[in-house]
Copies of this chain bind each other. A is one copy, B any other.
Amino acid sequence: MKTADLQISPFQKLLGLELVRAGDDGVTIRMPPNPDLLRIDGSLQLHGGVLSALIDIAGSYAVEVAVGGDAPTIDLRVDYLKPAERELVATAWVVKRGQKLCLADVEVRDARQKLVAVGRGLYANTKSE
């Protein structure tokens, strides 16, 4: 899997997502700085909705890589821990791989490695249906 695959999705292209790493033990996705994704014009702070989207995507990718098939999100919890600025890196991994459902955890860190948000999502395992 490579960045091009990630950017087949128009919305993921809009977010400028780049695939850093993908393996059975998890995925890492980078979101470069982008003035279109800010909460307020002229600020540095990214919109919370951008973070929830990034978390949703990273969790889904972790499951897709692990099961080898599509992994649509069923539900998602996002916790915002501190204001997020500039570049973000999301790391996601599968907590539980079930026949029908998979649970994934996501951490989002800023350029200084500070944890800015965490997420936990339930995804459908379409491969084993």
Chain A residues close to B by CB (< 8 Å): 8-12, 14-15, 35-41, 46-50, 52-54, 56-57, 60, 72-81, 95-96, 98, 100-101, 103, 115, 118, 120, 122
> Which residue of B11, B60, B77 contacts A76 across the interface (Cβ within 8 Å)?
B77
Q: How many copies does the complex hold?
A: 4
Nearest Cβ distance between residue A80 and chain B, in whole angstroms?
5
List 6 additional contacts besides A75-B77, A95-B118; criterion CB under 8 Å.
A56-B78, A73-B78, A75-B80, A76-B77, A77-B120, A100-B100
The interface residues of chain B lying within 8 Å CB-to-CB of A35 are: 10
> Are A14 and B40 in contact, with the CB atoms below 8 A?
no
A-B contact pairs, 18 of them (CB 8 A): A10-B47, A11-B36, A11-B49, A12-B47, A49-B52, A50-B53, A52-B52, A56-B78, A72-B80, A73-B78, A75-B78, A76-B76, A77-B120, A81-B95, A81-B96, A81-B98, A81-B103, A120-B120
- Complex Cα distance, B77 from A105, in Å, reads 13
- Complex Cα distance, B50 from A50, in Å, reads 8
